[in-house]
Amino acid sequence: MPVTEKMIDQLYAGWLAKVIGVRLGAPVEGWTYQKIKEKYGIINGYISDFKNFAADDDTNVPIFFIRALEKCGKDHELEAADVADALLDYAPYEHGFFWWGGYGMSTEHTAYQNLINGIPAPRSGSMAQNGATVAEQIGGQIFIDTWGLVSPGRPELAAKMAKAAASVTHDGNGVYGGIFVACCISIAYMERDIRAILLGALDFIPADCEYARAVRAVMDYHEKNPESWRDCFSYIYENFGYDKYPGNCHIIPNICVMILALLYGKGDFDATIEICTMCGWDTDCNVGNVAAIMGVRGGTCAIDYEKWRRPIRDLLICSGSMGSLNIQSIPQGADYLLKMMLRLGYELPGQWASVLSQNSRLCHFEYEGSTDCMRSRVVSALQEEQDRDGKGEGKALLSNTDRQAHSGKRSLLIQAKQVKEAEVYQKTYYFPEDFDDSRYDPSFSPLVYPGDTLHCYVRGEKVKESNIKGEKVKAALFARDSRSQAMVLGPEIILSDDGWTKLDFRIPSGEENEPVLALVDEVGILLSCEEKGDFLCYLDDFYWEGGACYTIDMKRERLEIWPTTGVPHYEISQFTRWKGITYLDQGRLHLTGEGRSAAFTGSHEWKDYAVTAEIGAELGEKSLLCFRVQGAMHFYAFGLYGKGRVALLKVANGVQELALANCRWEEKVSYRLCVSVKGNEITAALGESVLFCVMDEERPYLTGSIGLLTLDGSHMSCGRIEVVTDEKI
């Protein structure tokens, strides 16, 4: 099925709207209609002004679950087991990601524990296993949007995939809700009439189920009483309220207010999501679903830029087990969804096929209005830093434009007013102080490392009546080290208005008297001129590519303490903890916990590399270095493995011993573990002694990050990790 430019815009708008809806509803999640009315009256726009919106389960789960399509293969029929694998790979153990409310209380927690203890999907989410109350809570529909987004105009495909995905954790009306919402999104690509969208989606669930009865009841009420949404809410409260259904967040009351908002919003994006928020109950979930439907229906032109889009800057923060996937741009998410559409047999326009074949972190600015998480900072003539929105002495305004493009049709326009120096950059690592809270416990690995190479294309444009002498504006790529705050600059060029100039800059990796960068948290382009004035220029095709060559010295790492009103959230900088306890002591990172514990760092996209770690067994017999980590259940590990033994392991849900060797080692003594991976060849050494050289012939892991692992309740410590990737091996 061919995909049009309009459909691509709708997909981006749908995913963008999902993020907008979740952010709008989150501050009043769980509030009643009455409490919201008394506190806010009429809601018109975002309730809270977040520094950056931290992770949320409503966006975590859909963007990670869709990765099951990648793992199961193009011609593979998606099954519940595929989605279950994604859940186990990307959900940290009982923290972050979604609500861990206890076995038998939280539906997702219950299903996760079932899976990890050997109960397969879809039995893991079934009524037969968990009972109807647990199985029919709201999660079946709130995590389902992406299956509709990748199925434009094919609701039968959306229904099939949504059923497989929802059944991992839910059953009955919980699954019907997932099917219904996914089908609404799929149909909205082709149909603008709200009632037609709802009726079309109803065709894919049993007509006699409670979910269908509730949807039809609200539709019937609206048809007879089309004016007052508040009267309709009173009807829902009396007939479908929380008191009518068991559990802590049942799906039926919440779909009722979603239908109310869709109908009484009268096709207007703002009115629909604001009404949905004012209804209360599970607001972030309901508004996120409704916004996704409306985003697809109306495209980007339906979503007000200043009101909804500018505050989020195209940024999506996640809290999965893979730290390099926890900082995403919304365009990057849309790109990934387009790639999954290709796997499902859709045909993309040639321009988009070219875009998607390039680096996954490419900022191509091809989506209408997208700024791809780019930010601006202005420095005055006195070198006093202004605020990051440019409200001080000078301004550097960023916007998407179709006036110029190096490739495709669009680029990022940078308009500087009364500026001598401006930085346009992307944050590549976040700290607790960048957030107001720690919703769903995010943690990160850096996106960019010493040794990586930055690329972009820039061009200038003359500004009439500019007071810049000679109108010469210089440009250079840069990276900033978060530890020292040092900025390192690449080659400087003078912008030309005659064409595009490519900039390249390899970030120093400490070789041959180069600066040593500990943690790169910003990369971008520095624009400067001799005097303050006005200028404008264009940025396109900004990206970075591998070549990481760096050291994590645990003496330089920090305990990150996140702001929270609930359970404290602590992390070790650069690491994402899957399970267990991590802490720093005397310049070493410690990992311990019952059963299996692990913490990961680095990029999930690394291919060939060498990694060396200084590891000691503090207690117990199994302390190992992880590599080619693709998720919490899929990676290799090498290290100490029982008294007098070392091992090379492959974790594929279970643990497979690829190679064993006898080798004496002692507790509380540090050992140098060295691993090199090239293609499917693995070489592992203890100190200077090469112990294993193995070719993994059966579904080898060819990409992945690194990490630390303990088994059988062991306690390990690590002093430093050194990484050299790709061509440097």
Q: How far apart are CA 438 and CA 415, in angstroms?
A: 34
| Closest to 185 (Cα-Cα) out of 197, 174, 177 | 197
75 pLDDT higher than 60: no
CB atoms near residue 311 (< 10 Å): 17
Question: What pLDDT, on a 0 to 100 scale, did the predictor assign at position 360?
Answer: 87
Mean pLDDT of the chain: 94
Give, rounded to a whole angstrom, the gap between the first and last alpha carbons of the chain.
43
The pLDDT assigned to 389 comes to 45
Tell me what the mean pLDDT of segment 645-650 comes to.
97
What average pLDDT does range 431-440 have in this prediction? 92
Helix or strand or coil: residue 468? coil
Going by C-alpha positions, the residue among 139, 223, 216 that lies closest to residue 174 is: 139
- Looking at residue 591, its pLDDT comes to 98
Question: d(Cα 470, Cα 458) in Å, to the nearest integer?
Answer: 19
Alpha helices, DSSP H, located in 73-170: 80-90, 107-116, 127-130, 132-135, 139-142, 145-149, 155-166
The per-residue pLDDT for 468 is 57
Q: What are phi and psi of 636, to 5 degrees?
A: -105, 160
Give the number of C-alpha atoms closer than 13 A to the C-alpha of residue 361, restricted to the C-beta side: 25
In the chain, % of residues over pLDDT 70? 96
> Using an 8 Å Cβ cutoff, are 717 and 615 in contact?
yes
The answer to whether residue 692 scores a pLDDT higher than 80 is yes
For range 695-717, the mean pLDDT: 97
Structure tokens at 236: 């829902």
pLDDT at 534 over 90: no
Which domains does the chain show, CATH number per domain? 5-325 (1.10.4080.10), 358-547 (2.60.120.260), 575-728 (2.60.120.560)
Q: Report how far residue 20's alpha carbon sits from residue 314's, in angstroms, rounded to the nearest whole number.
A: 10
Residue 49 identity: D
Give 96-145 pLDDT, tens digit per residue: 999 999 999 999 999 999 999 999 999 999 999 999 999 999 999 999 99
Mean pLDDT confidence for 276-290: 98
Instruction: Note the pLDDT of residue 461.
Output: 87
Q: Residue 619: what are its φ and ψ, rounded to 5°?
A: -160, 140
**DSSP string across 7-74:** HHHHHHHHHHHHHHHHHHHGGGTT--HHHHHHHHSS--S-SS--SS----HHHHHHHHHTTHHHHH-T
| Residue 146 binned pLDDT confidence (cut-offs 50, 70, 90) | very high
Confidence at residue 465, expressed as pLDDT on a 0 to 100 scale: 57
Average confidence (pLDDT) over 615-631: 97
Distance of CA 505 to CAs 374, 453, 524, Å?
A: 18, 5, 10
Per-residue pLDDT, 471: 61
